[in-house]
Amino acid sequence: MARGRLITIEGIDGAGKSTLAAALLAALSARGIDAVLLREPGGVAVAERIRAIVKEAGLAIDPRAEALLYAASRAQLVAQRVEPALAGGRWVLLDRYVDSSLAYQGAGRGLGIDAVRAVNAFATGGLTADRTLLLTLDAAAGRTRRGDRDATPDRLEREPDAFFATIAAAYDGLARAEPARIRALDARQPPERVLSAALEALADLF
C-alpha cells in the first residue's frame, strides 16, 4: 500500500484555514482520495486538553513553555492519528503544523526559528509535510476577520497587530526558503478561488 500524503494549511489567525480545510477535504473525497482532517492543537484527547490551556484568555504562559506545550500536543497527534493514517495510505489534512510554531513561537515570541524547529523535529520524529498551503493575509485584515467571527478572542487572538505582522513576515520567509513544499495562496480571494488555487498547488501529488 502506498503511503498517504501529509498536507498542512498555514497562515495567521483569520486567514481562512478552517474554511479551506473543510472545502479541500470534500474536494479530495470527490476525487476518490481517502482523507482525514485534523486540527492543531487538538485532534486527540491529550492534545485537546493542551489546546484548552494554550488558548485560555488571561492565562500567563512563558514563551518557552508555550512552545513546548504546542510541541507536546503535536507529538501526541502524530503518534496517535497522523502517522497511523499515513501508514495506512490515507491523506491527512492538518489545520496548522510545525510551521505555525516556527512563525508564532520562533518569530512572534522571539525564541528563534532554529530552536523551535529542533524541538518540533524531536516531537514529530522528523515528519514533514508533503505540501504546505500558506494563506497570505495582512495583519489588519486578519484582525477584522477575527472580530467578525469571535465574540470572545482567545489568548493568542488578543495579541496586537504588530505580533501578527511579525508572524506573517516569518511565514513569507519560510515560503521563500522552501518553495517546493510551501505554496502561497492569496487569502483575500473568495473561498472558491482559494480552493481552486489549493487544488492546483496539489496537482502534482494526485
Do the beta carbons of residue 91 and residue 32 sit within 8 Å? no
Q: Residue 80 and residue 94: Cα distance in Å, rounded?
A: 14
Q: What would the mean pLDDT of 68-82 be, rounded to a whole number?
A: 98
Of 151, 200, 171, 149, nearest to 16 by C-alpha is 149
Question: Tens digits of per-residue pLDDT, 120-162?
Answer: 999 999 999 999 999 999 877 777 776 666 567 888 888 888 9
Q: What is the pLDDT of residue 146?
A: 66
Q: What is the pLDDT of residue 143?
A: 74
Q: What would the mean pLDDT of 63-80 be, rounded to a whole number?
A: 98
Q: What would the mean pLDDT of 81-85 be, rounded to a whole number?
A: 98
E-assigned strands of the chain? 6-10, 35-39, 91-95, 131-136, 182-186
Q: Residue 129 and residue 185: Cα distance in Å, rounded?
A: 17
Least confident stretch, 52-56, 147-151, 179-183: 147-151
Q: Which residues contact 66 (CB under 8 A, 6 or more apart)?
A: 54, 105, 109
Question: What is the percentage of the chain residues whose pLDDT exceeds 90?
Answer: 85
Q: What pTM does this model have?
A: 0.93
Q: What would the mean pLDDT of 100-114 be, rounded to a whole number?
A: 98
Q: What is the CATH number of domain 6-205?
A: 3.40.50.300
Q: Residue 3 and residue 120: Cα distance in Å, rounded?
A: 22
Question: Where are the domains positioned within the chain?
Answer: 6-205
34: phi then psi, degrees, rounded to nearest 5: -80, 110
